Chains A and B, each alone.
Chain A
Amino acid sequence: MDAALFERVSIDLDGRPVLEEISFRVAEGAFLGVIGPNGAGKTTLLRALLGLVPVKSGSIQVLGRAPGTHGDDAHAIGYVPQRQSVSRNFPATVADIVMMGRVCCHGRLRLARAADWKRVRSELDEIGIGHLADRPIGRLSGGEVRRVLLAQALCVGTRLLVLDEPTVGLDLPAELEFYGLLRRLQHERGITVVCVSHDLLALAGQASELICINRRMHVHGNPEEVVHSHALREAYSCEFDFLAGEIAHHDRHHHGGAH
């Protein structure tokens, strides 16, 4: 079964076409990178997948159902939104933030039971931030916050993980570390990943497949094909020459730095 399937999906926002005729499928266990320039509709694509925006035409299937119809299983699709920081004074600890993801979608009374706390702690340990569990969320670094949000997205039996620009604002070592963690978790748990970024260089080294959009679908393939395709030039237009020169260098860097 496909984890997600888009068939000729078009979406308007405020009467303006944002996505047109987008079709692709994500096999279970795949890592799909969605790239495109700023304003290409990448976030809208994710929001449609999560059932947060209605489609004008076409159809979407996520884990075998239409988006937004998963009821209490909604969290089988984990979501790490684009977010660079948390209000400094948000009154909750790291463990509380992860618990939100677990308890609010889980159990009738939405109570945090001992078993839930145990699961939250083990999730934090696995993501390598167990020592931060009792720290206020507003007092963490950008990279640490990203890991907390990842733990929040994964703290139930998550099967599909959706990430929106998860490494914006991180420096290169932190970015590589985040993607390394993501791929380890994907491998260990067999989850499917859909990750959006405007940063072709970052995603090309991570994803098993890439799609490039700029309102319309431009190309779908493995990173090698996509990076060297003409369609990419079309989507990114003038940005492309700059990007092409950087890719070889970046690939080396990724493979050297991730292990």
Chain B
Amino acid sequence: MLEYAFAERALIAAVVVGLLCGLLGFFVILRRLAFIGVGISHSAIGGVAIGLMLGIDPVVSAAVFAVIVALGMFQVARDRRLTEDAIIGVFLSGAMALGLLLMGMRHGYQKDLFAYLFGSLLAVSTTDLAVLCTLAATLAVIVAASFREMLFVAFDEEVARAYGRRVDMLDALLIVVLALTVVAGVRIVGVLLVEALLVVPAATAALWTLDFRRQVALSMSLGAVSAATGLWLSFAFDVGAGAAIVLVAVTAFFASWLLRRTA
């Protein structure tokens, strides 16, 4: 019975993260934010380490740290002397180095580090689940409420600005929501694989349709189905849940790519 409850929590958590990452993935693909996603997820290591050092919940510290790093990247990227990928490279390595340095200063953190690198889906508590669902619902509402404006900015930033849209604020909002999504995903599939959930289902969906409604629906469905299937595989074959989830999503991508090659 106990075993059943924790499997159920893991399933709900994985599906919620799959849905949320599928939704944000739409904008990650549309706005070419994939590398920013990598930067944010890797910088979460620094946030986790700070949390462990200070004795606060590493997810909270990772969330705060990831948002700060994401906004930092966004701010520095507006300096047009450098390209975005160079700036992300700087932030990513800096935040990771900070994390590794802090972890190395005290013994016994390696186990925790491992949990965040690869996720710990099977240790999701009732509280974790409640926090995750609340966060996901909030982020989904924010994205839904600004969806058409964000789409407008993606289509033509200049015209959106001319019509009084607050483009910089919308971009910053998207980055913050992305950072929080990444942190939610880090808890489940880990730093190394959360990027896959942001990119792969949305990329797969983009192969099938040019209608954003269908793309979002398909991306979210693929995220959820990959999460559930991967989790089932991890139970059935006793393999890592994060890796199994990502491999299911990637398999769906390549299957779609083969099927849609001529389209």
Given A91-B206, A91-B215, A100-B151, A81 contacting B163 (CB threshold 8 A): no
Max count, chain A CB within 10 A of own CB: residue among B152, B155, B156, B159: B159
Instruction: Kindly state whether residue A213 has any CB partner on chain B within 8 Å.
Output: no
Cβ-neighbour of A138 out of B146, B159, B164, B210 (below 8 A): B210
B3-23 vs A, Cβ < 8 Å mask (1 yes, 0 no)? 000000000000000000000
A86-113 interface with B by 8 A CB criterion = 86, 89-93, 96-97, 99-101, 103-105, 109-110, 112
| Interface contact B163-A91, CB-CB below 8 Å | no
Q: Tell me whether A136 and B211 are in contact in the complex, defined as CB-CB below 8 angstroms, given that A79-B159, A91-B30, A105-B164 are known contacts.
A: yes
User: Closest CB of chain A to B153's CB: distance in Å?
Assistant: 9
A52 at the B interface (CB under 8 A): yes
State how many residues of chain B have any CB contact under 8 Å with chain A: 25
Q: How far is the CA of A110 from the CA of B170 in the complex (A)?
A: 14
**Chain B: minimal CB distance from A44 (Å):** 13
Q: B163, A105: Cβ atoms under 8 Å?
A: yes
Residue contact A112 to B148, C-beta cutoff 8 Å: yes
Find out whether the CB atom of A90 lies under 8 angstroms from the CB atom of B158. no
B227 to chain A, nearest CB (A): 23
Q: How far is the CB of A74 from chain B (nearest CB, A)?
A: 4
Q: Once bound together, how far apart are the Cα atoms of A86 and B30, in whole Å?
A: 13
Q: Does A171 sit at the interface, judged by CB under 8 A?
A: no
State which of A75, A86, A92, A93 has its C-beta within 8 Å of the C-beta of B163: A75
A180 to B8 Cα, complex, angstroms: 65
Q: Are B162's CB and A96's CB within 8 A?
A: no
A99-B148, A136-B210 known; A90 vs B155 contact (CB < 8 Å): yes
Q: Does B115 sit at the interface, judged by CB under 8 A? A: no
Is B212 part of the contact surface with A, judged by Cβ < 8 Å?
yes
Which among B146, B155, B161, B206 is the interface contact of A52 at CB below 8 angstroms? B161
Chain B neighbourhood of A91, CB < 8 A: 26, 30, 206, 209-212, 215
Q: Which residues on B sit within 8 Å (CB–CB) of A3?
A: none
Name A71's closest neighbour in chain B (CB-CB): B164
Q: CB distance A70 to B164 under 8 Å?
A: yes
CB neighbours of A112 from chain B (8 A): 148
A37 at the B interface (CB under 8 A): no
**Please, which residues of chain A bring their CB within 8 A of the CB of B163?**
74-75, 79, 101, 104-105
Segment 140-173 of B: residues with Cβ below 8 Å from A: 145-146, 148-149, 151-152, 154-156, 158-165
Mark interface residues in B121-148 (1 if CB within 8 Å of A CB, else 0). 0000000000000000000000001101
Interface centre among B145, B151, B210 (most CB of A within 10 A): B210
The residues of B that contact A52 with a CB separation of less than 8 Å are 158, 161-162
Judged by a CB distance under 8 angstroms, whether A72 is at the interface is: yes
Residue from the list A51, A100, A109 in contact with B152, Cβ < 8 A: A100
A–B Cβ pairs within 8 angstroms, 26 of them? A50-B162, A51-B162, A52-B158, A52-B161, A52-B162, A79-B159, A89-B210, A90-B154, A90-B210, A91-B30, A91-B209, A91-B211, A91-B212, A92-B210, A92-B211, A93-B210, A97-B155, A100-B151, A100-B152, A100-B155, A104-B148, A104-B163, A105-B165, A109-B145, A136-B210, A138-B210
